[in-house]
Structure 1
């Protein structure tokens, strides 16, 4: 099946470099016209120019996502430049990593503003426009394994990404009648963010030197380049994915995966309700053995 996005128009936030640029370039290669967004005007302009030189159609719009005004500006740029909006990819993000007792209000708010509020405002503005057009569309958010499992030192980031997954599930229901699909990409790639993880750092450095990643990372860990993650976005934006909505889809290296939704894994019952003593008595036999693990597992490096 050929993925052809000719005639579609997309906005990709945070696409001046890294994963965002890979998404924007992949959409353009599939035929979509793209609004490249970044806080850095030079990065956005260079990315749009590079896409154009490769035969795609792209314009740049430099603005920090988070506010309703910024979201409206991005949608208006798409409509003014290309006449419509079909795809919104909410990729923009920042990091302010600290353990809980050292994280400031400013650290927390900055990350939530960019990731969570930025996703909300951009998705809302896009949904309004797509519903006015009456031809459906695609909202593609960006999650993270940290939002699925938590990650040490990332209270703000993990909370934002978990919130994005919850919004995806909610919006998929609210926008179903408008034929607007809503999904989250959960990428795993060598980026400025993942390079801060000690286990991945040497492999990211090896990639910069042109060395290939070993199979245990590409397949076993689903870890690769930003370009390895790019194909999922044009697929989710295409007619081939019209029946896919409310999902968190992982991609990285050679691996494609579907994340589960939270659900009850074990239950117990007490006639008339529970006392603390009752819970203590039944915990180990009924629920304790089913406790979930937390955190992003370190790569399982094979012994030589």
Structure 2
């Protein structure tokens, strides 16, 4: 039958245009009732009307994700209308690109406030509802700029990688309540990214080609703690791994040996994906014990 979201209620932020609009429409096509959240009231209303014209249910909300009280009010209105919140797509974002040397710290803070704290605000506002339901699907919008870096995007990259760290912990804390938390790094032609790509590249980067990843991550069978990448009809997965490394002990020459053997320490054969942060020091203590007891 495929993914059926007909019993689900989804909030999509930044849904008045671009990726957010594509995500909202894709979720609605699978039957979800949609809260179209955006700072632009006219844009949000237009997307909601489009969903309803195609037989779906939608509610347009004018909100800034940086305003926690307003986000809470949106969630209360959603619960009053539909009685539950099952899916949160944290999509709202801005760009303030400049090299770090030329970047104003206010622009750094603003990007962090919208991307990171905006996602925190929305997630905090739905968290207790999802815990009480024993069900939730939360999606953060990360970026290859955070995962791998991009010139002129120190603020954006920092915010986007911070969301991966947030996902890692919330996925652990939410799992016992049926809440799955994942991240998506999209490549798409939107108003926010049009200046970053050539016309030829833009032609193959329609936002709707990313949205199947959102539908999959919103599904009942969605994974937990996945970092998906999507664009131009292609889908990949990123991982934060730990290599097997080397035990070097202690002493005055360890730093020198470390530098000399970085290639061995970074060798990727046998690398693992830790399930918890504490696995790092557990692994290190075990390596020390093996050496000492050898």
User: Where on the TM-score scale, by shorter chain, does this alignment land: which range?
Assistant: 0.7 to 0.9
Equivalenced residue count is 268
- Given that 2:16 and 2:40 are in contact with CA atoms closer than 8 Å, whether structure 1 keeps it comes out as yes
Secondary structure of the structure 2 residue equivalent to 1:26: helix
Structure 1 length normalisation: TM-score?
0.83
Q: Does 1:251 pair with 2:230?
A: yes
1:210 aligns with none
1:203 aligns with 200
CA contact (8 A) 1:11 1:74 kept: no
1:268 corresponds, among 243, 246, 252, to: 246
Q: 1:235 to 1:270 in 2, by over 3 A?
A: closer
Q: Kindly report which structure 2 residues correspond to 1:106-121, keeping only aligned pairs within 5 A, or say none.
A: 106-121=106-121
- Match of 2:185, SS? strand
* Aligned-residue RMSD, C-alpha: 2.0
Cα offset for 1:193? 3.2
How far 1:192 moved relative to its partner?
2.6
Please report the TM-score for the alignment, with normalisation by the length of structure 2. Answer: 0.85
Answer whether contact 1:195 1:204 (CA < 8 A) is retained. Answer: no
Is 2:211 aligned against 1:230?
A: yes
List per-residue Cα deviations over 1:176-225 (Å, max 9, x = no partner): 1100110011111122333222xx222256x3xxxxx4xxxxxxxxxx21
CA contact (8 A) 2:85 2:126 kept: yes
The 2-side partners of 1:28 and 1:282 are apart by 53
Highest RCO, 1 vs 2 (Cα 8 Å, sep ≥ 6)? 1
What displacement does 1:290 show? Answer: 4.2
How far apart are the structure 2 equivalents of 1:201 and 1:81? 43
SS in 2 for 1:257: strand
The answer to whether the Cα contact below 8 Å between 2:184 and 2:227 also exists between their aligned partners in 1 is yes
CA 1:172–1:146 in structure 2 vs 1: closer, same or farther (change >3 Å)? same
TM-superposed CA distance for 1:103, in Å, is 1.1
Q: CA deviation at 1:282?
A: 4.3
Q: Which runs of 5+ in 2 are unaligned?
A: 269-294
Identify which range, 66-75 or 121-130, moves more after superposition.
Answer: 66-75
